Chain A
Amino acid sequence: MIATALIVQLSFGEYLKFYSINFDLIMICVIAVSIVDGYGYGLAYGFLFGLILDLMGGHIAGINAFIYAFNAFIAARFMETGIKKKYPLLLLIVFVVTEINLIVEALLLYLFNFDINIVELGREMLLKPLYSIIITMMVFPLFDLGQKERWEFGFQNKEEN
Protein backbone atom coordinates (compact mmCIF):
# COMPACT_ATOMS: atom_id res chain seq x y z
CA MET A 1 0.00 0.00 0.00
CA ILE A 2 2.77 2.44 0.95
CA ALA A 3 4.74 1.43 -2.17
CA THR A 4 1.69 2.35 -4.27
CA ALA A 5 1.39 5.61 -2.33
CA LEU A 6 5.06 6.33 -3.08
CA ILE A 7 4.61 5.78 -6.81
CA VAL A 8 1.34 7.75 -6.95
CA GLN A 9 2.87 10.64 -5.03
CA LEU A 10 5.93 10.81 -7.28
CA SER A 11 3.89 10.46 -10.47
CA PHE A 12 0.79 12.46 -9.68
CA GLY A 13 1.81 14.80 -6.88
CA GLU A 14 2.69 17.74 -9.11
CA TYR A 15 -0.79 17.73 -10.68
CA LEU A 16 -2.58 17.81 -7.33
CA LYS A 17 -0.77 20.82 -5.94
CA PHE A 18 -3.17 23.18 -4.22
CA TYR A 19 -1.90 26.77 -3.91
CA SER A 20 1.66 25.38 -4.40
CA ILE A 21 1.17 22.97 -1.52
CA ASN A 22 2.01 19.33 -2.12
CA PHE A 23 -0.01 16.58 -0.55
CA ASP A 24 1.84 13.95 1.44
CA LEU A 25 0.26 10.59 0.79
CA ILE A 26 3.18 8.69 2.29
CA MET A 27 2.82 10.53 5.60
CA ILE A 28 -0.87 9.61 5.74
CA CYS A 29 -0.12 5.96 4.96
CA VAL A 30 2.62 5.82 7.60
CA ILE A 31 0.24 7.29 10.20
CA ALA A 32 -2.42 4.76 9.17
CA VAL A 33 0.02 1.84 9.46
CA SER A 34 1.20 3.09 12.83
CA ILE A 35 -2.38 3.34 14.11
CA VAL A 36 -3.72 0.12 12.60
CA ASP A 37 -0.71 -2.22 12.76
CA GLY A 38 1.19 -0.72 15.65
CA TYR A 39 4.22 1.31 16.55
CA GLY A 40 6.89 -1.11 15.25
CA TYR A 41 5.40 -1.42 11.78
CA GLY A 42 4.82 2.33 11.57
CA LEU A 43 8.42 3.13 12.46
CA ALA A 44 9.83 0.45 10.14
CA TYR A 45 7.71 1.46 7.15
CA GLY A 46 8.22 5.16 7.83
CA PHE A 47 11.97 4.74 7.92
CA LEU A 48 12.13 2.38 4.93
CA PHE A 49 9.90 4.36 2.56
CA GLY A 50 11.36 7.67 3.72
CA LEU A 51 14.80 6.33 2.85
CA ILE A 52 13.59 5.08 -0.55
CA LEU A 53 12.10 8.51 -1.25
CA ASP A 54 15.35 10.19 -0.20
CA LEU A 55 17.43 7.94 -2.43
CA MET A 56 15.08 8.25 -5.41
CA GLY A 57 14.82 12.00 -4.95
CA GLY A 58 18.59 12.26 -4.69
CA HIS A 59 18.50 14.57 -1.76
CA ILE A 60 20.18 14.13 1.61
CA ALA A 61 19.37 10.54 2.55
CA GLY A 62 17.86 10.24 6.00
CA ILE A 63 15.76 13.40 6.10
CA ASN A 64 12.47 11.92 4.92
CA ALA A 65 13.36 8.65 6.69
CA PHE A 66 13.60 10.55 9.97
CA ILE A 67 10.50 12.64 9.34
CA TYR A 68 8.26 9.67 8.49
CA ALA A 69 9.61 7.54 11.36
CA PHE A 70 8.93 10.47 13.68
CA ASN A 71 5.38 10.72 12.27
CA ALA A 72 4.80 7.07 13.12
CA PHE A 73 6.16 7.68 16.62
CA ILE A 74 3.80 10.60 17.25
CA ALA A 75 0.77 8.71 15.89
CA ALA A 76 1.61 5.70 18.05
CA ARG A 77 2.06 7.89 21.12
CA PHE A 78 -1.46 9.26 20.57
CA MET A 79 -2.84 5.73 20.39
CA GLU A 80 -0.96 4.68 23.53
CA THR A 81 -2.93 7.22 25.52
CA GLY A 82 -5.93 4.92 25.04
CA ILE A 83 -8.09 7.14 22.87
CA LYS A 84 -11.17 5.67 21.25
CA LYS A 85 -11.24 4.87 17.56
CA LYS A 86 -13.12 7.93 16.39
CA TYR A 87 -12.56 9.75 13.10
CA PRO A 88 -12.37 13.23 14.70
CA LEU A 89 -9.44 11.96 16.78
CA LEU A 90 -7.78 10.48 13.72
CA LEU A 91 -8.10 13.85 11.98
CA LEU A 92 -6.63 15.53 15.05
CA ILE A 93 -3.64 13.17 14.83
CA VAL A 94 -3.21 13.98 11.13
CA PHE A 95 -3.49 17.71 11.87
CA VAL A 96 -0.88 17.59 14.66
CA VAL A 97 1.51 15.39 12.68
CA THR A 98 1.27 17.63 9.59
CA GLU A 99 2.04 20.73 11.65
CA ILE A 100 4.95 19.03 13.42
CA ASN A 101 6.22 17.81 10.03
CA LEU A 102 6.26 21.33 8.63
CA ILE A 103 8.11 22.70 11.65
CA VAL A 104 10.67 19.86 11.67
CA GLU A 105 11.17 20.25 7.91
CA ALA A 106 11.69 24.01 8.28
CA LEU A 107 14.21 23.43 11.07
CA LEU A 108 16.10 20.88 8.98
CA LEU A 109 16.07 23.29 6.03
CA TYR A 110 17.51 25.96 8.28
CA LEU A 111 20.19 23.55 9.54
CA PHE A 112 21.18 22.66 5.98
CA ASN A 113 21.42 26.35 5.07
CA PHE A 114 18.35 26.63 2.83
CA ASP A 115 16.26 29.80 2.66
CA ILE A 116 13.06 29.69 4.72
CA ASN A 117 10.16 31.88 3.67
CA ILE A 118 8.14 32.51 6.81
CA VAL A 119 5.05 33.71 4.90
CA GLU A 120 5.10 30.57 2.76
CA LEU A 121 5.55 28.41 5.86
CA GLY A 122 2.60 30.14 7.53
CA ARG A 123 0.39 29.57 4.50
CA GLU A 124 1.44 25.92 4.41
CA MET A 125 0.70 25.53 8.11
CA LEU A 126 -2.81 26.79 7.45
CA LEU A 127 -3.62 24.87 4.29
CA LYS A 128 -1.61 21.64 4.35
CA PRO A 129 -3.38 20.10 7.37
CA LEU A 130 -6.74 20.64 5.62
CA TYR A 131 -5.41 19.00 2.51
CA SER A 132 -4.01 16.09 4.55
CA ILE A 133 -7.34 15.67 6.34
CA ILE A 134 -9.25 15.42 3.04
CA ILE A 135 -6.85 12.79 1.73
CA THR A 136 -6.98 10.90 5.03
CA MET A 137 -10.75 10.60 4.69
CA MET A 138 -10.22 8.99 1.29
CA VAL A 139 -7.27 6.75 2.13
CA PHE A 140 -7.73 5.66 5.74
CA PRO A 141 -10.81 3.44 5.21
CA LEU A 142 -8.62 1.23 2.98
CA PHE A 143 -6.31 0.56 5.93
CA ASP A 144 -9.24 0.04 8.26
CA LEU A 145 -10.74 -2.74 6.11
CA GLY A 146 -10.79 -6.11 7.83
CA GLN A 147 -10.21 -4.66 11.30
CA LYS A 148 -12.34 -6.06 14.13
CA GLU A 149 -12.88 -2.72 15.77
CA ARG A 150 -13.78 -0.22 13.06
CA TRP A 151 -13.22 3.52 13.28
CA GLU A 152 -16.42 5.45 13.88
CA PHE A 153 -17.72 8.91 13.11
CA GLY A 154 -18.89 11.21 15.91
CA PHE A 155 -17.51 11.97 19.33
CA GLN A 156 -19.64 9.71 21.52
CA ASN A 157 -19.11 5.97 21.98
CA LYS A 158 -21.89 3.66 20.88
CA GLU A 159 -21.94 2.04 24.34
CA GLU A 160 -22.64 5.42 25.89
CA ASN A 161 -25.83 5.91 23.84
Chain B
Amino acid sequence: MGFFNKRFRNITILVIIIVLCIIAATLTFRDYNFVRGSQSGLMDFFGPAQERVFTFFSPVGRLFDGIRDYVNLREKYLALEQENQKLRKDYAQLVNLRIENRALRELLDMDLREDQVTQPAKVIGFYQSRFQSEAMLNVGKRQGVEEGMAVINDQGLVGIVSFAGDSSCRVRLINDPASSIGARILTSRALGVVEGTGDKRVKLGYIHRDAHVFVGDMVITSELSENVPPEILIGRIQYVAEDPDDVYKQIEIEPFADFKSLEYVMVIKSW
Protein backbone atom coordinates (compact mmCIF):
# COMPACT_ATOMS: atom_id res chain seq x y z
CA MET B 1 0.00 0.00 0.00
CA GLY B 2 2.87 2.30 0.98
CA PHE B 3 4.60 1.55 -2.31
CA PHE B 4 1.50 2.56 -4.28
CA ASN B 5 1.08 5.72 -2.21
CA LYS B 6 4.69 6.66 -2.85
CA ARG B 7 4.36 5.87 -6.54
CA PHE B 8 1.12 7.89 -6.75
CA ARG B 9 2.83 10.82 -5.01
CA ASN B 10 5.82 10.65 -7.38
CA ILE B 11 3.61 10.64 -10.46
CA THR B 12 1.55 13.51 -9.01
CA ILE B 13 4.72 15.61 -8.58
CA LEU B 14 5.77 14.81 -12.15
CA VAL B 15 2.34 15.82 -13.46
CA ILE B 16 2.56 19.11 -11.51
CA ILE B 17 5.97 19.76 -13.08
CA ILE B 18 4.60 19.01 -16.56
CA VAL B 19 1.79 21.53 -15.95
CA LEU B 20 4.34 24.12 -14.76
CA CYS B 21 6.41 23.49 -17.91
CA ILE B 22 3.35 24.01 -20.11
CA ILE B 23 2.63 27.28 -18.26
CA ALA B 24 6.27 28.36 -18.75
CA ALA B 25 6.10 27.54 -22.49
CA THR B 26 2.83 29.49 -22.82
CA LEU B 27 4.36 32.51 -21.08
CA THR B 28 7.31 32.38 -23.52
CA PHE B 29 5.05 32.27 -26.55
CA ARG B 30 3.01 35.19 -25.21
CA ASP B 31 6.28 37.10 -24.73
CA TYR B 32 5.42 38.57 -21.35
CA ASN B 33 7.72 41.29 -19.96
CA PHE B 34 8.15 39.12 -16.88
CA VAL B 35 9.80 36.40 -18.98
CA ARG B 36 12.05 38.91 -20.75
CA GLY B 37 12.99 40.43 -17.37
CA SER B 38 13.87 36.97 -15.99
CA GLN B 39 15.99 36.21 -19.07
CA SER B 40 17.86 39.48 -18.77
CA GLY B 41 18.33 39.06 -15.00
CA LEU B 42 19.65 35.51 -15.30
CA MET B 43 22.03 36.41 -18.12
CA ASP B 44 23.43 39.33 -16.14
CA PHE B 45 23.64 37.21 -12.96
CA PHE B 46 25.49 34.27 -14.53
CA GLY B 47 27.40 36.41 -17.08
CA PRO B 48 30.47 37.33 -14.94
CA ALA B 49 30.94 33.74 -13.67
CA GLN B 50 30.47 32.42 -17.20
CA GLU B 51 33.05 34.88 -18.54
CA ARG B 52 35.62 33.73 -15.96
CA VAL B 53 35.01 30.04 -16.65
CA PHE B 54 35.16 30.65 -20.39
CA THR B 55 38.45 32.55 -20.08
CA PHE B 56 39.84 29.87 -17.76
CA PHE B 57 38.96 27.00 -20.09
CA SER B 58 39.89 28.76 -23.36
CA PRO B 59 43.47 27.36 -23.52
CA VAL B 60 42.16 23.80 -23.03
CA GLY B 61 39.54 24.43 -25.70
CA ARG B 62 42.19 25.69 -28.10
CA LEU B 63 44.24 22.57 -27.39
CA PHE B 64 41.30 20.38 -28.47
CA ASP B 65 40.88 22.52 -31.59
CA GLY B 66 44.59 22.21 -32.27
CA ILE B 67 44.50 18.41 -32.08
CA ARG B 68 41.51 18.34 -34.41
CA ASP B 69 43.14 20.71 -36.90
CA TYR B 70 46.48 18.86 -36.82
CA VAL B 71 44.86 15.76 -38.35
CA ASN B 72 43.86 17.68 -41.49
CA LEU B 73 46.89 19.94 -41.58
CA ARG B 74 48.40 18.92 -44.94
CA GLU B 75 45.10 19.03 -46.83
CA LYS B 76 44.36 22.39 -45.30
CA TYR B 77 47.79 23.73 -46.22
CA LEU B 78 47.40 22.77 -49.90
CA ALA B 79 43.91 24.22 -50.07
CA LEU B 80 45.12 27.44 -48.47
CA GLU B 81 48.05 27.67 -50.89
CA GLN B 82 45.64 27.49 -53.83
CA GLU B 83 43.27 29.96 -52.24
CA ASN B 84 46.13 32.31 -51.49
CA GLN B 85 47.21 32.35 -55.14
CA LYS B 86 43.67 33.12 -56.24
CA LEU B 87 43.29 35.82 -53.59
CA ARG B 88 46.51 37.54 -54.70
CA LYS B 89 45.14 37.80 -58.22
CA ASP B 90 41.78 39.00 -56.90
CA TYR B 91 43.49 41.54 -54.66
CA ALA B 92 45.37 43.11 -57.56
CA GLN B 93 42.13 43.29 -59.48
CA LEU B 94 40.33 44.76 -56.47
CA VAL B 95 42.85 47.55 -56.02
CA ASN B 96 42.35 48.59 -59.64
CA LEU B 97 38.60 48.44 -59.28
CA ARG B 98 38.70 50.48 -56.08
CA ILE B 99 40.70 53.23 -57.75
CA GLU B 100 38.32 53.20 -60.70
CA ASN B 101 35.29 53.16 -58.40
CA ARG B 102 36.55 56.14 -56.38
CA ALA B 103 37.19 58.12 -59.53
CA LEU B 104 33.73 57.35 -60.91
CA ARG B 105 32.01 58.21 -57.60
CA GLU B 106 33.84 61.51 -57.47
CA LEU B 107 32.67 62.20 -60.98
CA LEU B 108 29.09 61.49 -59.90
CA ASP B 109 29.48 63.47 -56.61
CA MET B 110 28.33 60.47 -54.56
CA ASP B 111 29.36 59.93 -50.93
CA LEU B 112 31.73 57.07 -50.35
CA ARG B 113 30.35 54.33 -48.15
CA GLU B 114 30.63 55.33 -44.50
CA ASP B 115 32.56 53.19 -42.08
CA GLN B 116 30.67 50.92 -39.76
CA VAL B 117 30.27 51.84 -36.09
CA THR B 118 31.16 48.71 -34.19
CA GLN B 119 31.37 47.48 -30.63
CA PRO B 120 34.04 44.88 -29.86
CA ALA B 121 32.81 42.00 -27.72
CA LYS B 122 34.05 38.81 -26.18
CA VAL B 123 32.25 35.48 -26.46
CA ILE B 124 31.54 34.17 -22.95
CA GLY B 125 29.47 31.10 -23.67
CA PHE B 126 27.41 29.05 -26.04
CA TYR B 127 23.88 27.70 -26.03
CA GLN B 128 23.98 24.65 -28.23
CA SER B 129 21.17 22.15 -28.59
CA ARG B 130 19.12 20.80 -31.43
CA PHE B 131 16.67 23.64 -30.78
CA GLN B 132 19.22 26.40 -31.04
CA SER B 133 22.75 27.56 -31.77
CA GLU B 134 23.55 30.75 -29.94
CA ALA B 135 26.52 32.48 -28.38
CA MET B 136 26.63 34.86 -25.44
CA LEU B 137 28.63 38.11 -25.55
CA ASN B 138 29.86 40.32 -22.72
CA VAL B 139 28.21 43.48 -24.08
CA GLY B 140 24.63 44.63 -23.77
CA LYS B 141 22.34 47.64 -23.78
CA ARG B 142 24.80 49.67 -21.70
CA GLN B 143 27.27 49.49 -24.59
CA GLY B 144 24.56 50.40 -27.11
CA VAL B 145 23.90 46.88 -28.32
CA GLU B 146 20.32 46.29 -29.48
CA GLU B 147 18.39 43.30 -30.72
CA GLY B 148 18.69 42.74 -34.46
CA MET B 149 22.26 44.08 -34.82
CA ALA B 150 24.66 42.04 -36.95
CA VAL B 151 27.69 40.35 -35.37
CA ILE B 152 30.81 39.69 -37.43
CA ASN B 153 34.38 38.55 -36.96
CA ASP B 154 37.41 38.65 -39.23
CA GLN B 155 36.06 35.66 -41.17
CA GLY B 156 32.57 36.96 -41.91
CA LEU B 157 29.04 37.10 -40.56
CA VAL B 158 28.57 35.31 -37.25
CA GLY B 159 24.93 36.02 -36.48
CA ILE B 160 22.35 38.49 -35.24
CA VAL B 161 21.77 39.74 -31.69
CA SER B 162 18.60 37.95 -30.60
CA PHE B 163 18.35 39.26 -27.05
CA ALA B 164 20.11 42.15 -25.32
CA GLY B 165 20.41 42.26 -21.55
CA ASP B 166 22.00 45.15 -19.63
CA SER B 167 25.56 43.89 -19.75
CA SER B 168 25.37 40.80 -21.94
CA CYS B 169 23.57 39.65 -25.03
CA ARG B 170 22.75 36.53 -26.99
CA VAL B 171 23.67 36.10 -30.64
CA ARG B 172 21.68 33.80 -32.87
CA LEU B 173 24.36 32.16 -35.00
CA ILE B 174 23.65 31.72 -38.69
CA ASN B 175 23.31 27.93 -38.26
CA ASP B 176 20.52 28.30 -35.68
CA PRO B 177 17.28 26.70 -36.94
CA ALA B 178 15.45 30.01 -36.34
CA SER B 179 18.04 32.14 -38.17
CA SER B 180 17.02 33.75 -41.47
CA ILE B 181 19.16 36.37 -43.22
CA GLY B 182 18.80 37.98 -46.65
CA ALA B 183 21.71 37.07 -48.91
CA ARG B 184 23.10 37.33 -52.42
CA ILE B 185 25.25 34.96 -54.46
CA LEU B 186 28.36 36.95 -55.33
CA THR B 187 28.70 36.14 -59.04
CA SER B 188 25.10 35.64 -60.20
CA ARG B 189 23.74 38.33 -57.82
CA ALA B 190 20.73 36.04 -57.17
CA LEU B 191 18.84 36.94 -54.00
CA GLY B 192 17.99 34.31 -51.40
CA VAL B 193 17.66 33.67 -47.70
CA VAL B 194 20.34 32.01 -45.57
CA GLU B 195 18.74 29.73 -43.01
CA GLY B 196 20.01 27.39 -40.30
CA THR B 197 18.79 23.85 -39.80
CA GLY B 198 18.18 21.63 -36.79
CA ASP B 199 21.41 19.74 -37.45
CA LYS B 200 23.53 22.93 -37.67
CA ARG B 201 23.89 23.06 -41.43
CA VAL B 202 23.36 26.33 -43.30
CA LYS B 203 21.08 26.44 -46.32
CA LEU B 204 20.53 29.09 -48.96
CA GLY B 205 16.87 29.08 -49.84
CA TYR B 206 14.66 30.73 -52.48
CA ILE B 207 17.19 30.59 -55.31
CA HIS B 208 15.26 29.82 -58.49
CA ARG B 209 16.28 26.63 -60.27
CA ASP B 210 17.10 28.64 -63.41
CA ALA B 211 19.69 30.72 -61.55
CA HIS B 212 23.33 29.98 -62.28
CA VAL B 213 24.86 28.55 -59.11
CA PHE B 214 28.12 26.64 -58.74
CA VAL B 215 29.94 24.99 -55.88
CA GLY B 216 32.62 27.28 -54.47
CA ASP B 217 30.76 30.51 -55.20
CA MET B 218 30.55 32.96 -52.31
CA VAL B 219 27.46 34.17 -50.52
CA ILE B 220 27.25 37.68 -49.06
CA THR B 221 24.62 39.63 -47.16
CA SER B 222 22.12 41.47 -49.34
CA GLU B 223 21.44 45.19 -49.27
CA LEU B 224 17.73 44.55 -48.65
CA SER B 225 18.11 43.64 -44.99
CA GLU B 226 17.20 46.36 -42.49
CA ASN B 227 19.72 45.55 -39.76
CA VAL B 228 22.51 43.74 -41.54
CA PRO B 229 24.97 45.74 -43.66
CA PRO B 230 25.33 44.56 -47.24
CA GLU B 231 28.31 42.68 -48.70
CA ILE B 232 29.45 40.92 -45.55
CA LEU B 233 30.86 37.50 -46.34
CA ILE B 234 28.64 34.65 -45.14
CA GLY B 235 30.06 31.49 -46.65
CA ARG B 236 30.91 29.37 -49.64
CA ILE B 237 28.46 27.17 -51.54
CA GLN B 238 29.37 23.54 -50.94
CA TYR B 239 26.38 21.63 -52.31
CA VAL B 240 23.82 22.33 -55.04
CA ALA B 241 20.95 20.07 -56.04
CA GLU B 242 17.68 20.30 -57.89
CA ASP B 243 14.36 18.65 -57.18
CA PRO B 244 12.00 18.36 -60.19
CA ASP B 245 9.04 19.13 -57.89
CA ASP B 246 10.62 22.27 -56.44
CA VAL B 247 11.06 25.61 -58.19
CA TYR B 248 13.99 26.43 -55.93
CA LYS B 249 17.44 24.89 -55.84
CA GLN B 250 18.66 23.10 -52.73
CA ILE B 251 21.85 24.82 -51.71
CA GLU B 252 24.08 24.27 -48.71
CA ILE B 253 26.67 26.73 -47.52
CA GLU B 254 29.84 26.29 -45.54
CA PRO B 255 30.02 29.41 -43.32
CA PHE B 256 33.33 31.29 -43.29
CA ALA B 257 33.05 31.91 -39.56
CA ASP B 258 34.30 28.98 -37.50
CA PHE B 259 31.82 28.90 -34.64
CA LYS B 260 34.02 26.61 -32.58
CA SER B 261 36.87 29.09 -32.40
CA LEU B 262 34.77 32.19 -31.79
CA GLU B 263 36.48 34.36 -29.21
CA TYR B 264 36.25 38.02 -30.13
CA VAL B 265 33.60 39.52 -32.40
CA MET B 266 32.27 42.92 -33.46
CA VAL B 267 28.67 44.07 -33.12
CA ILE B 268 27.76 46.43 -35.95
CA LYS B 269 25.78 49.25 -34.35
CA SER B 270 25.32 51.32 -37.50
CA TRP B 271 26.78 51.69 -40.95
CB pair B65–A15 under 8 Å, yes or no, is yes
Binding site secondary structure of chain A? helix
Contact-size category for B: 35 or more
Give A52 to B46 CA distance when docked, in angstroms.
10
**A115 interface hit (Cβ, 8 Å):** yes
CB pair A60–B131 under 8 Å, yes or no, is yes
From B85-93, B94-102, B120-128, B242-250, give the one contacting chain A: B120-128
Give A140 to B163 CA distance when docked, in angstroms.
35
Query: Given A13-B128, A52-B42 in contact, is the A43-B198 Cβ separation under 8 Å?
Result: no
Which of the residues B10, B22, B125 comes within 8 Å of A10, measured between beta carbons? B125
Quick one: closest B residue to A39, CB to CB? B10
**A146 interface hit (Cβ, 8 Å):** no
> Interface 1/0s, chain A 54-77, versus B by CB < 8 A?
111111111111100110010011
Query: Given A7-B53, A56-B43 in contact, is the A63-B21 Cβ separation under 8 Å?
Result: yes
CB pair B57–A116 under 8 Å, yes or no, is no
Number of A residues, CB within 8 Å of B: 47
> Interface 1/0s, chain A 97-129, versus B by CB < 8 A?
000000001100100101111001000000000
CB pair A15–B127 under 8 Å, yes or no, is no
Residues from chain A with Cβ under 8 Å of B199 in the complex: 20, 115, 117, 120
Residues from chain A with Cβ under 8 Å of B200 in the complex: 20
Residues from chain B with Cβ under 8 Å of A37 in the complex: none
Inter-chain pairs besides A11-B54, A15-B260, 15 sampled, C-beta below 8 Å: A7-B50, A8-B53, A10-B50, A10-B125, A10-B126, A14-B260, A55-B38, A58-B163, A59-B132, A61-B35, A65-B24, A66-B21, A69-B18, A77-B10, A109-B130
Q: Which residues of A contact B (CB under 8 A)?
A: 6-8, 10-17, 20, 22, 39-40, 43, 47, 51-52, 54-66, 69-70, 73, 76-77, 80, 105-106, 109, 112, 114-117, 120
